Amino acid sequence: MSASNKKMSFHFLKTIGFIGITGICIMSGCTVANLEPNDNLVPKTTNPLTGPGNASRTIPNSYIIVFKENVKYRNNLANVKAKAVALMKDNGQLETNIYFYFGHSILGFAANISKTIADKIATDSEVAYIEIDQVITLEGSPSSEPIPVKNSTAPVEAIPPGIMSVGGYTEFNPKDTTHRAWVIDSGIDNHPDLNVNFKLGFSVFTDKFGQPDKLDYNGHGTHVAGIIGATKNKDGVIGVAAGYPVIPVRVLDSTGRGCTSAVIAGINYVAEKGVKGDVANLSWSSDLSTALDDAVLYASKNKGVKFVIAAGNNRDDANLYSPGHINGPNIYTIAAHDNVYTKPAFAASFSNFGRPEPIDYIAPGMSIYSTYLVSKGSYAYLSGTSMAAPHVTGLLLVGDQVDTKGEIVYLLVSYPRAYKRNTLP
220 is catalytic: yes
Global pTM? Answer: 0.87
Q: Which helix (H) or strand (E) holds 267?
A: helix 260-273
Q: Which pLDDT does position 387 carry in this prediction?
A: 96
> How crowded is residue 411: how many other Cβ atoms within 10 Å of its Cβ?
11
For 147-420, which CATH class? alpha beta
Catalytic site residue from 133, 185, 189, 338: 185
> How crowded is residue 177: how many other Cβ atoms within 10 Å of its Cβ?
10
Across 72-190, where does the E strand assignment appear?
98-102, 108-112, 127-137, 147-148, 170-171, 181-185
Q: Which pLDDT does position 32 carry in this prediction?
A: 35
Q: Which pLDDT does position 140 carry in this prediction?
A: 52
Pairing state of beta strands 98-102 and 108-112?
antiparallel
Distance of CA 96 to the CA centre of its chain: 27
Q: How many CA atoms lie within 13 A of 38 on its CB side?
A: 12
Give the Cα separation of 235 and 377 in Å (integer): 14
Catalytic site residue from 104, 179, 191, 220: 220
- Give the pLDDT of the chain (425 residues) as one tens digit per residue: 544 333 333 323 333 332 222 233 333 334 433 332 222 233 223 333 333 333 358 899 999 999 999 999 999 999 999 999 999 999 999 999 999 999 999 999 999 999 999 999 999 999 999 999 999 988 555 554 566 665 544 357 889 999 999 999 999 999 888 899 999 999 999 999 999 999 999 999 999 999 999 999 999 999 999 999 999 999 899 999 999 999 999 999 999 999 999 999 999 999 999 999 999 999 998 888 999 999 999 999 988 899 999 999 999 999 999 999 999 999 999 999 987 776 778 999 999 999 989 999 999 999 999 999 999 989 999 999 999 999 999 999 998 899 999 999 999 899 999 999 866 55
Domain 15-137 has CATH 3.40.50.11440: no
Distance (Å) of CA 151 to CA 145, 148, 295, 377: 19, 10, 40, 7
351 is catalytic: no
Q: Which pLDDT does position 147 carry in this prediction?
A: 63
367 is catalytic: no
Catalytic site residue from 114, 203, 378, 386: 386
Question: Which residues of the chain form CATH 3.40.50.200?
Answer: 147-420
Question: Which residues of the chain form CATH 3.30.70.80?
Answer: 15-137
